[in-house]
């Protein structure tokens, strides 16, 4: 009986992976070449306006795409607003600090004017993430499109699916593996933290009261000078935010990985990547070769962008990214 259960589970897993592969296969670069030729140009223009006014939007838009794909797949469910009867993903605790929604709204408004009912919100998210990386100094990559939008968004799904900033290598590997992503993808995509900031509350436990017995001390895995610097920036209960790559917080480079090698990772879920031989080797590879990193990053983003996508007749093309049609 146990064997039958295992075999049955394996068949179900294979069926799910096969379905996911079929969805990814239906995505294609240049999907809107005929139906809405200016689609990617319009998104790029809106992202450019936003990032020019506030560079932090680049990291925010990349994070929006990640937080969408890891919850029910890349279906733009993270963009839906809560209703009187349901609390949406964007209002779950892990998503409270998400930003860039207004950039997606602006792009969608122009796209509806140019080619109504054609470009999905999920594809806008994928294009915007790519454009943000490029504007921050990363390399361009082709974004396969053809996603359709989901019509369900639940805060509980986000709470259950998004790895916390305290996650260790095993937890991260499991979370990424459930989405068909390898450890190499996991380390590479974590490199997105080379841009943007994180709130003190996400790592304050590493600075204050780390020792559970004495209620004092700092995480010994963090460089002492870095810990002291962060403790000054983040006193207990601080609402402040700090860069995750202090050397070049708005530039898409290898600074994040070099910081990890120096034990200066801000989040526990970042520094943990050096605690395992396999992931530490990947960190070192990316730290030492920017071309390798940006190439891997584009490839990994494409794979992430294919997680459980809706295509063909599934889902819908939302007219307003915040509400179902």
Q: Is 75 annotated as a binding residue?
A: yes
The Cα-based distances of 65 to 85, 262, 272 in angstroms read 25, 29, 23
The pair phi, psi for residue 148, each rounded to 5°, is -120, 165
Residue pair 207/218 in contact by the 8 Å Cβ criterion: yes
d(CA 121, CA 110): 12
* Burial of residue 225 (number of CB atoms within 10 Å: 0-12, 13-18, 19+): exposed
pLDDT at residue number 25: 58
Q: What's the average model confidence in pLDDT over 119-138?
A: 98
What are the tens digits of pLDDT across the range 264-294?
Answer: 999 999 999 999 999 999 999 999 999 999 9
CATH at 152 = 1.10.520.10
pLDDT (tens digit per residue) in 308-325: 999 999 999 999 999 999
Within a domain: 236: no
Q: Tell whether 237 is covered by a domain.
A: no
Q: Would you say 219 is a known binding-site residue?
A: no
68 is in an annotated binding site: yes
Task: Check residues 187 and 5 and name the one with the higher pLDDT.
Answer: 187
The pTM of the full predicted model, rounded to 2 decimals, is 0.90
Give the pLDDT confidence score for residue 24 in this predicted structure. Answer: 57
Give the chain's length.
325
Phi and psi at residue 310, to the nearest 5°: -95, 130
Is 65 catalytic? The answer is no
Give residue 29's pLDDT: 97
Residue 220 lies in a domain: no
Cα–Cα distance between 107 and 44 in angstroms, integer? 9
Is 227 part of a structural domain of the chain? no
How many domains in the chain? 1
pLDDT confidence of residue 212: 60
Which residues constitute the domain of residue 164? Answer: 38-196+244-306
pLDDT at 306: 97
Which of 67, 171, 199, 208 is catalytic? The answer is 67
* Range scoring the smallest mean pLDDT among 19-28, 78-87, 214-223, 283-292: 19-28
275: Cα separation from own chain's centroid? 22
Indicate whether 93 pLDDT > 70: yes
What pLDDT, on a 0 to 100 scale, did the predictor assign at position 297? Answer: 98
14: Cβ contacts below 8 Å, ≥ 6 apart: none
Q: Does residue 54 lie in a domain region?
A: yes
How many whole angstroms from its chain centre is CA 187? 12
Q: What angle do CA 223, 225, 228 make, to 5 degrees?
A: 110
Q: What is the dihedral of CA 291, 287, 226, 97, to 10 degrees?
A: 50
Res 43: pLDDT:
98
Confidence tier at 126 by pLDDT (50, 70, 90): very high
Which tens digit of pLDDT belongs to each residue from 155-204?
Answer: 999 999 999 999 999 999 999 999 999 999 999 999 999 999 999 999 99
pLDDT score at 21: 52
- Whether 211 is in a domain gets the answer no
- The three-class DSSP label of residue 243 is strand
pLDDT of residue 217: 80
Query: Residue 14: what pLDDT?
Result: 46
pLDDT at position 211, please?
A: 72
Instruction: Tell me the pLDDT band of 6, cut-offs 50, 70 and 90.
Output: very low
**Was 71 annotated as part of a binding site?**
yes
Mean local confidence (pLDDT), 225-244: 94
253 is known to lie in a ligand binding site: yes
Q: Report the distance separating Cα 291 and Cα 308, nearest Å.
A: 29
Residue the block writes with tokens 């307003």: 320
Strand ranges (DSSP E) for the chain? Answer: 197-199, 241-243
Report whether pLDDT(55) > 50.
Answer: yes
Q: How many CB atoms lie within 10 A of CB 269?
A: 21
């Amino acid at each position: 009986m146990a064997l039958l259960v295992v075999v049955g589970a394996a068949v179900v897993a294979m069926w799910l992976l096969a379905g996911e592969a079929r969805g990814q296969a239906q995505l294609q670069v240049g999907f809107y070449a005929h139906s809405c030729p200016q689609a990617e140009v319009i998104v790029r223009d809106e992202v450019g306006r936003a990032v020019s006014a506030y560079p932090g939007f680049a990291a925010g838009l990349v994070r929006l795409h990640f937080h969408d794909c890891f919850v029910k797949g890349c279906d733009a469910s993270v963009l839906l607003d809560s209703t009187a009867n349901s609390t949406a993903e964007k209002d779950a605790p892990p998503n409270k600090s998400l930003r860039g929604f207004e950039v997606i709204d602006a792009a969608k408004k122009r796209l509806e004017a140019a080619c109504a009912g054609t470009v999905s919100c999920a594809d806008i998210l994928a294009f915007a993430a790519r454009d943000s990386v490029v504007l921050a100094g990363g390399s361009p990559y082709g974004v396969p499109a053809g996603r359709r939008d989901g019509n369900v968004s639940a805060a509980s799904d986000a709470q259950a699916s998004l790895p916390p900033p305290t996650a260790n290598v095993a937890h991260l590997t499991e979370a990424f593996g459930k989405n068909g992503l390898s450890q190499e993808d996991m380390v590479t995509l974590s490199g997105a933290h080379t841009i943007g900031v994180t709130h003190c509350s996400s790592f304050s436990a590493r600075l204050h009261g780390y020792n559970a017995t004495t209620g004092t001390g700092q995480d010994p895995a963090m460089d002492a000078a870095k810990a002291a610097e962060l403790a000054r920036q983040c006193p207990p209960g601080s609402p402040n935010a700090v860069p995750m790559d202090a050397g070049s917080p708005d530039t898409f480079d290898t600074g994040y990985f070099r910081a990890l090698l120096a034990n200066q990772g801000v989040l526990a879920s970042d520094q943990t990547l050096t605690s395992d031989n396999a992931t530490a080797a990947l960190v070192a590879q990316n730290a030492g070769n920017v071309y390798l990193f940006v190439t891997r990053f584009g490839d990994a983003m494409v794979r992430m962008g294919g997680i459980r996508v809706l295509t063909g007749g599934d889902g819908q093309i939302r007219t307003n990214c915040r509400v179902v049609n």
